[in-house]
């Protein structure tokens, strides 16, 4: 009798042991909710999404493997691992040789046979057992990694997490941007923003697949980049800002730090030195540059259009040559922006003469010139780029000259415009731009610019009315998220009603990133995407 009891006990112990040996992973996978890749909050919306309605379990057993010899791929894998850690606290190894327990692998492969063959294209195949991200270039892989980040559920820390598994819906994604230039501009001249603020903005833009940050580095109120051959530009010209507080500037080392940080996120920095107008800070530093005939002094107001360089002096061009040379040497991207807007006190013929000369200087240092749309009134090269902000006539001129155009219509794409009359920050000279107006326009057809002339879209954030990162975020978000979709997604994939549902679900990410976005009343913000409570218990 006793021995029978011992036997039974022994058998049941074995049974319990066996049962608890059932792979933990399998047990967890059984508890995954039904999922649908097609309704994930991806922004910008990918070209094609084909759901297969099952789940990949991201957990502590997952590993990332990348093509090891393809340029930049291991770094992209590392970036994904870091971002997974920030979101889930999981430590996912990259290219580890320790494999025994690994299940559910994320592969990031260099591949020449994508359905869409373009530099930033990528494909994702998500099955129950693996995620395969294929891209031709590490830039394509980086864009695909943003998609993966967006479909890992954002689970609040305080939610019960019985299995510590993040369910990723299965399916296939084929994706590629419509426009090659997808940018935002930050005006660090009217108010100065420190390196950390700029990096945070870069991080947020990169998540939405932007590839350009244009820095407006000089204006009447401030000069923000060290030029070693002309030190007073920053000593004097960098000393103040709108409102009269002390301004600031980037040393060349700090600027390079920003450039490298952006490059790691596959983004290009476009430096802008605005001239011949908007040059009061430069002229206060070196008065020989001044061409408006008046005495120059530091300016901390918000007026535009009162300053100009002296366009007929050789020394002005010697100065510009040094500035373009020094900045180009630390800007690996292909562009140099010369401003050229609102030169209201420069005589027309002087303006044209100036732009043509400066274009040659920019080209001498191996860069492609960008200028605000007024530059098209000069006789410039078809390789130069016009940034449309207000003048249809200038857009037509650019098309006539065969130039590429960056679309930044002030009425639709200016991030410094107020949302409405109650907005805490911003201006409204062009329009009020609520979150839906920012999204509901078509860059492909705006002002009749032919599609083949459009290089892309840029959303400028002028900083007369904002002086810290919280205020910057209030104006930029959520509108900048919409511009990301306008510049990446096909017109067929853009629909306000569908977009606003996905936008609402950005709240947990924005909150985790401590982004002080404007909580537009048009959006039914979802504070949490999905919680473990939705996972059925056994
Ligand atoms: C116009 S748009 C400007 C900027 C101002 C902005 C304010 C353009 C090329 N120039 O100098 O900061 O309006 O919205």
More confidently predicted of 383 and 32: 383
Q: How far apart are CA 167 and CA 108, in angstroms?
A: 19
pLDDT at 434 over 70: yes
Q: Which atom of ligand 1 lies nearest, measured to the CA of 390?
A: 2
Each residue's pLDDT tens digit, 139-166: 999 999 999 999 999 876 655 456 688 9
CB 123 within 8 A of CB 114: yes
The three-point CA angle 393-397-401 to 5° equals: 170
pLDDT at 395 over 50: yes
Q: Pocket of ligand 1, candidates 272, 276, 342: which has the most ligand atoms within 8 Å of its Cβ, to mutate?
A: 342
CA distances to 237, 358, 373 from 325, in Å: 19, 12, 24
Phi, psi of 203 (to 5 degrees): -60, -45
CB 68 within 8 A of CB 116: no
Distance in Å, CA 252 to ligand 1 centroid: 26
Q: How far apart are CA 464 and CA 300, in angstroms?
A: 10
Q: Which atom of ligand 1 lies nearest, measured to the CA of 219?
A: 11
Distance in Å, CA 268 to ligand 1 centroid: 22
According to DSSP, the β-strands at 166-175 and 130-135 are: unpaired
CB 169 within 8 A of CB 126: yes
Q: Give residue 201's pLDDT.
A: 99
CB 388 within 8 A of CB 408: yes
The DSSP 8-state label assigned to residue 202 in this structure reads: H
Each residue's pLDDT tens digit, 166-196: 999 999 999 999 999 999 999 999 999 999 9
pLDDT at 377 over 60: yes
> In the predicted model, what is the mean pLDDT of residues 463-491?
98
> In the predicted model, what is the mean pLDDT of residues 423-428?
97
Distance in Å, CA 375 to ligand 1 centroid: 15
pLDDT at 537 over 80: no
Which pLDDT band, with edges at 50, 70 and 90, does 483 fall under? very high
Q: Give residue 155's pLDDT.
A: 79
Residue whose Cα lies nearest atom 12 of ligand 1: it is 462
Which pLDDT band, with edges at 50, 70 and 90, does 17 fall under? very low
Q: Encoding tokens for residue 98?
A: 């320790």
Q: Give residue 154's pLDDT.
A: 86
In the block, tokens 């029978």 appear at 4
Distance in Å, CA 436 to ligand 1 centroid: 22
Residue whose Cα lies nearest atom 11 of ligand 1: it is 304
Residue whose Cα lies nearest atom 7 of ligand 1: it is 462
Q: Which atom of ligand 1 lies nearest, measured to the CA of 187?
A: 12
Give catalytic residue positions.
342
Each residue's pLDDT tens digit, 233-246: 999 999 999 999 99
Mention every residue, 6+ apart, whose C-beta is less than 8 A from residue 23.
Answer: none
Q: Give residue 116's pLDDT.
A: 80
Distance in Å, CA 21 to ligand 1 centroid: 66
pLDDT at 529 over 90: no
Q: How far apart are CA 526 and CA 344, in angstroms?
A: 47
CB 480 within 8 A of CB 438: no
Q: Give residue 531's pLDDT.
A: 44
pLDDT at 320 over 50: yes
Residues with CB under 6 A from ligand 1: 304, 341-342, 372, 389, 410, 414, 416, 427, 462, 464
Q: How far apart are CA 413 and CA 389, in angstroms?
A: 9
Report which of 186, 221, 180 is spatially closest to residue 415, judged by C-alpha positions.
186
Mean pLDDT over each residue of the chain, to the nearest integer: 92
CA distances to 252, 332, 359, 380 from 320, in Å: 17, 19, 11, 18
Q: How far apart are CA 288 and CA 309, in angstroms?
A: 9
More confidently predicted of 159 and 58: 58
Residue whose Cα lies nearest atom 9 of ligand 1: it is 341
Q: Pocket of ligand 1, candidates 215, 304, 374: which has the most ligand atoms within 8 Å of its Cβ, to mutate?
A: 304
pLDDT at 12 over 60: no
> In the predicted model, what is the mean pLDDT of residues 452-456?
98
More confidently predicted of 6 and 58: 58
More confidently predicted of 319 and 20: 319
Q: Which atom of ligand 1 lies nearest, measured to the CA of 339?
A: 9
Q: Encoding tokens for residue 80?
A: 């994904």
CB 280 within 8 A of CB 238: no
Distance in Å, CA 190 to ligand 1 centroid: 11
Phi, psi of 173 (to 5 degrees): -125, 130
Residue whose Cα lies nearest atom 6 of ligand 1: it is 462
According to DSSP, the β-strands at 48-58 and 105-110 are: unpaired
Beta bridge partners of residue 172, listed in sequence order: 50, 125
Q: Which atom of ligand 1 lies nearest, measured to the CA of 342?
A: 10
3-state secondary structure of 368: strand
Report which of 433, 530, 480 is spatially closest to residue 208, judged by C-alpha positions.
480
Residue whose Cα lies nearest atom 5 of ligand 1: it is 462
Q: How far apart are CA 95 and CA 140, in angstroms?
A: 19
Distance in Å, CA 460 to ligand 1 centroid: 9
> In the predicted model, what is the mean pLDDT of residues 408-423?
98
Q: How far apart are CA 145 and CA 166, in angstroms?
A: 16
N residues, the chain: 538
pLDDT at 2 over 50: no
């Amino acid at each position: 009798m006793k021995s029978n009891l011992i036997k039974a006990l022994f058998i049941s112990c074995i049974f319990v042991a066996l049962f608890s040996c059932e792979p933990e992973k399998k047990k967890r996978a059984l508890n995954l909710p039904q999922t649908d890749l097609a309704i994930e909050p991806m922004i910008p919306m990918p070209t094609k999404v084909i759901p297969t309605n099952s789940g990949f379990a991201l957990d502590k057993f997952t590993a990332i493997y990348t093509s090891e010899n393809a340029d930049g791929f291991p770094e992209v894998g590392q970036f994904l691992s870091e971002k997974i850690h920030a979101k889930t606290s999981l430590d996912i190894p990259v290219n580890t040789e320790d494999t025994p327990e690994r299940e559910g692998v994320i592969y990031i492969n260099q591949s020449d046979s994508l359905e869409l063959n373009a530099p930033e294209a990528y494909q994702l195949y998500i099955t129950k057992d693996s995620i395969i991200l294929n891209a031709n270039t590490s830039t394509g892989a980086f864009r695909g990694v943003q998609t993966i980040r967006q479909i890992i559920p954002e689970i609040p820390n305080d939610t019960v997490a019985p299995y510590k598994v993040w369910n990723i819906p299965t399916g296939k994604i084929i994706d590629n941007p419509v426009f090659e230039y997808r940018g935002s501009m930050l005006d660090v001249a009217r108010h100065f923003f420190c390196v950390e603020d700029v990096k945070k903005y870069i991080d947020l833009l990169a998540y939405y697949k932007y590839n350009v940050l244009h820095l407006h580095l000089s204006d009447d109120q401030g000069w923000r980049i060290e030029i070693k051959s002309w030190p007073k530009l920053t000593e004097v010209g960098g000393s103040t800002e709108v409102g009269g507080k002390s301004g600031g500037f980037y040393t060349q080392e700090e600027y390079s730090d920003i450039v490298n940080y952006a490059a790691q996120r596959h983004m290009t920095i476009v430096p802008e030195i605005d001239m011949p107008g908007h040059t009061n800070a430069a002229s206060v530093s070196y008065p020989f540059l001044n061409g408006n005939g008046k005495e120059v002094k530091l300016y901390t107001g918000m007026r535009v259009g009162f300053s100009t360089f002296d366009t007929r002096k050789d020394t002005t061009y010697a100065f510009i040559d040094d500035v373009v040379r020094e900045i180009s040497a630390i800007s690996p991207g292909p562009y140099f922006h010369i401003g050229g807007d609102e030169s209201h006190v420069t005589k027309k013929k002087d303006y044209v003469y100036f732009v043509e000369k400066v274009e040659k200087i920019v080209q001498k240092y191996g860069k492609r010139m960008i200028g605000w749309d007024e530059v098209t009134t000069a006789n410039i090269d078809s390789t130069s780029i016009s940034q449309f902000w207000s003048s249809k006539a200038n857009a037509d001129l650019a098309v006539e000259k065969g130039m590429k155009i960056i679309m930044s219509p002030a009425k639709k794409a200016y991030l410094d415009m107020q949302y409405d009359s109650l907005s805490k920050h911003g201006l409204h000279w062009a329009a009020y731009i609520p979150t839906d107006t920012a999204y509901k326009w078509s860059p492909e057809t705006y002002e009749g610019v032919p599609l083949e002339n459009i290089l892309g879209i840029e959303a400028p954030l002028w900083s007369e009315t904002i002086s810290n990162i919280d205020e910057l975020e209030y104006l930029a978000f959520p509108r900048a998220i919409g511009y990301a979709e306008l510049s990446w997604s096909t017109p067929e994939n853009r629909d306000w009603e569908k977009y606003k549902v996905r936008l609402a679900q950005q709240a947990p990410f924005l909150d985790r990133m401590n982004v002080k976005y404007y909580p537009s009343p048009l959006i039914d913000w979802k504070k949490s995407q999905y919680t473990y409570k939705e996972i059925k218990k056994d």
